[in-house]
């Protein structure tokens, strides 16, 4: 148990039997009336984000989240198999728990796997990853100065928007949070 005064971003709360991650919080002390805490919380299971207000000092139940560094090994067709880098134990993770991580995951890549009481909550990738562009159409000669973008398919199968000067076979850096192009990778 913790109080609303102890809330931090990333903390996991157990509210009504569901796990919620604190996205952001704000302590508010109005001129009139009692203080309160305004939060934005995200349901770990569904990804739904809601606003919730707590009275200051209210006790909230926290959930114990175990985060471990794991290495992605392979997809066996029904689940994603990860190996704990400390104990070498293998864990099978269902596609529902993977979220958007599957769009940027390559074999032998490291990720953080968060669990609660043996159940996988989510898989967290680094903020950016380096991937090869499998296919993109060539940019038109006159369009280079306009700063336009074009679709490109990455080696994982994810399609993102890249600048017109990017060609097939190039290695680029991609932001895993919003699937945006960050730049070329120097060879």
Instruction: Specify the pLDDT at position 138.
Output: 83
Residues 100-133 have pLDDT tens digits of 888 899 899 999 998 888 888 888 888 899 999 9
Distance CA 21, CA 47 (A): 10
Same CATH fold assignment for domains 66-124 and 128-184: yes
Q: Cα dist. 96→4, 51, 90, 164 in Å?
A: 30, 24, 18, 34
* CATH no., domain 66-124: 2.40.50.140
Domain boundaries, the chain: 2-60, 66-124, 128-184
- Euclidean distance between CA atoms 29 and 35, whole angstroms: 4
pLDDT value, residue 146 = 58
Cβ distance 39 to 49 under 8 Å?
A: no
Q: How confident is the model over 86-113, as a mean pLDDT?
A: 88
Which residue carries 């679709």 as its tokens?
A: 151
Across 74-97, average pLDDT: 90
**2-60 maps to which CATH number?**
2.30.30.30
Q: Over 60: is that where the pLDDT of 2 sits? A: yes
d(CA 60, CA 125): 28
Q: How confident is the model at residue 144 (pLDDT cuts 50, 70, 90)?
A: low
Q: Which CATH superfamily is domain 128-184 in?
A: Nucleic acid-binding proteins (2.40.50.140)
- Give the range among 81-85, 113-117, 159-163 with minimum mean pLDDT: 113-117
């Amino acid at each position: 148990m913790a109080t609303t005064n102890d809330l931090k971003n990333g903390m996991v709360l157990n509210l009504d039997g569901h796990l919620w991650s604190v996205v952001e919080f704000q302590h508010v002390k109005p001129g009139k009336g009692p203080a309160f805490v305004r939060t934005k919380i995200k349901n770990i299971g569904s990804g739904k984000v809601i606003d919730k207000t707590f009275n200051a000092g209210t006790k909230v139940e926290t959930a114990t989240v175990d985060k471990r560094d794991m290495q992605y090994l392979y997809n066996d067709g029904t689940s994603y198999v990860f190996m704990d880098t400390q104990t070498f134990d293998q864990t099978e993770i269902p596609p529902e728990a993977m979220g958007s991580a599957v769009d940027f995951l390559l074999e032998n890549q490291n990720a953080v796997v968060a669990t609660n009481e043996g159940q996988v909550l989510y898989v967290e990738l680094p903020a950016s990853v380096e991937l090869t562009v499998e296919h993109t159409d060539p940019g038109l000669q006159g369009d280079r100065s306009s700063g336009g973008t074009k679709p490109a398919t990455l080696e994982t199968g994810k399609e993102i928007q890249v600048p017109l000067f990017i060609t097939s076979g190039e290695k680029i850096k991609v932001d895993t949070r919003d699937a945006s192009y960050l730049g070329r990778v120097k060879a």
